[in-house]
Protein backbone atom coordinates (compact mmCIF):
# COMPACT_ATOMS: atom_id res chain seq x y z
CA UNK A 1 0.00 0.00 0.00
CA UNK A 2 1.32 3.43 -0.87
CA UNK A 3 0.52 6.97 0.27
CA UNK A 4 -2.89 8.00 -1.05
CA UNK A 5 -4.24 11.43 -1.80
CA UNK A 6 -7.82 10.57 -0.80
CA UNK A 7 -9.10 9.24 2.52
CA UNK A 8 -9.30 5.48 2.90
CA UNK A 9 -12.31 5.83 5.21
CA UNK A 10 -15.32 8.15 5.05
CA UNK A 11 -14.91 10.83 7.70
CA UNK A 12 -18.65 10.67 8.42
CA UNK A 13 -18.28 6.97 9.24
CA UNK A 14 -15.47 7.68 11.66
CA UNK A 15 -17.51 10.42 13.33
CA UNK A 16 -20.60 8.17 13.60
CA UNK A 17 -18.52 5.46 15.26
CA UNK A 18 -17.04 7.97 17.74
CA UNK A 19 -20.45 9.44 18.54
CA UNK A 20 -21.81 5.92 19.14
CA UNK A 21 -18.94 5.06 21.48
CA UNK A 22 -17.45 2.57 19.01
CA UNK A 23 -13.91 3.89 19.14
CA UNK A 24 -10.56 3.20 20.71
CA UNK A 25 -7.66 5.52 21.44
CA UNK A 26 -4.16 4.11 21.44
CA UNK A 27 -1.74 4.69 24.28
CA UNK A 28 0.39 6.70 21.84
CA UNK A 29 -2.53 9.05 21.10
CA UNK A 30 -3.36 9.46 24.80
CA UNK A 31 0.28 10.28 25.56
CA UNK A 32 0.33 12.84 22.73
CA UNK A 33 -2.77 14.48 24.17
CA UNK A 34 -1.37 14.48 27.70
CA UNK A 35 1.64 16.52 26.55
CA UNK A 36 -0.88 19.21 25.58
CA UNK A 37 -2.83 18.80 28.84
CA UNK A 38 -5.68 17.23 26.87
CA UNK A 39 -7.57 14.02 27.57
CA UNK A 40 -9.84 11.47 25.90
CA UNK A 41 -12.80 13.85 25.77
CA UNK A 42 -10.64 16.45 24.03
CA UNK A 43 -9.52 13.86 21.47
CA UNK A 44 -13.13 12.87 20.87
CA UNK A 45 -14.17 16.54 20.45
CA UNK A 46 -11.29 17.09 18.02
CA UNK A 47 -12.31 14.15 15.83
CA UNK A 48 -15.94 15.30 15.80
CA UNK A 49 -14.94 18.79 14.59
CA UNK A 50 -12.80 17.57 11.68
CA UNK A 51 -13.90 18.55 8.20
CA UNK A 52 -13.20 16.90 4.84
CA UNK A 53 -10.84 19.79 4.02
CA UNK A 54 -8.64 18.88 7.00
CA UNK A 55 -7.56 15.66 5.27
CA UNK A 56 -3.80 15.56 4.64
CA UNK A 57 -2.87 12.06 3.42
CA UNK A 58 -3.39 8.34 3.88
CA UNK A 59 -0.57 6.06 4.96
CA UNK A 60 -0.34 2.27 5.19
CA UNK A 61 -0.61 0.93 8.73
CA UNK A 62 2.71 -0.38 10.00
CA UNK A 63 1.25 -2.59 12.75
CA UNK A 64 -1.86 -3.72 10.85
CA UNK A 65 -0.88 -4.65 7.28
CA UNK A 66 -3.74 -4.18 4.86
CA UNK A 67 -5.25 -1.29 6.82
CA UNK A 68 -4.62 2.40 6.24
CA UNK A 69 -4.41 5.47 8.45
CA UNK A 70 -5.95 8.76 7.37
CA UNK A 71 -4.04 11.81 8.58
CA UNK A 72 -6.02 14.95 9.34
CA UNK A 73 -4.51 18.30 10.29
CA UNK A 74 -6.37 21.22 11.77
CA UNK A 75 -6.14 23.98 14.31
CA UNK A 76 -8.33 23.20 17.29
CA UNK A 77 -8.32 23.47 21.06
CA UNK A 78 -5.72 26.23 20.73
CA UNK A 79 -3.14 24.09 18.92
CA UNK A 80 -2.20 23.10 15.36
CA UNK A 81 -2.64 19.34 15.60
CA UNK A 82 -2.82 16.19 13.57
CA UNK A 83 -4.46 12.84 14.12
CA UNK A 84 -4.08 9.50 12.41
CA UNK A 85 -7.45 7.77 12.17
CA UNK A 86 -8.29 4.23 11.16
CA UNK A 87 -11.41 2.13 10.85
CA UNK A 88 -11.17 -1.47 11.91
CA UNK A 89 -12.80 -4.30 10.09
CA UNK A 90 -15.40 -4.33 12.86
CA UNK A 91 -16.46 -0.72 12.08
CA UNK A 92 -14.75 0.67 15.16
CA UNK A 93 -12.81 3.92 14.77
CA UNK A 94 -9.29 4.02 16.14
CA UNK A 95 -7.35 7.18 16.97
CA UNK A 96 -3.86 5.89 16.30
CA UNK A 97 -1.95 9.12 16.88
CA UNK A 98 -2.80 12.56 18.22
CA UNK A 99 -0.06 15.17 18.36
CA UNK A 100 0.80 18.79 18.06
CA UNK A 101 1.77 19.72 14.53
CA UNK A 102 5.35 20.92 14.57
CA UNK A 103 6.00 21.58 10.90
CA UNK A 104 5.56 25.16 9.65
Per-residue pLDDT of the chain (104 residues; tens, 9 = 90+): 456 689 999 999 999 999 999 999 999 999 999 999 999 999 999 999 999 999 999 999 888 888 899 999 999 877 899 999 999 878 999 999 999 988 65
Task: Give the residue numbers spanning the domain of 45.
Answer: 11-100
Examine residue 4 and state whether it is found in any structural domain, yes or no: no
If we measure between CA atoms, which residue out of 21, 65, 62, 19 comes closest to residue 84? Answer: 62
Query: In the chain, how many domains are there?
Result: 1
CATH code at position 50? 3.30.2310.40
Chain center to CA of 79 = 15
Examine residue 27 and state whether it is found in any structural domain, yes or no: yes
Record the pTM: 0.90
Amino acid sequence: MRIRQVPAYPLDGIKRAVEAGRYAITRNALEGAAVLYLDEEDIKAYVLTLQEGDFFKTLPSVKRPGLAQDVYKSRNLGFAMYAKLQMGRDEWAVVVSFKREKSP
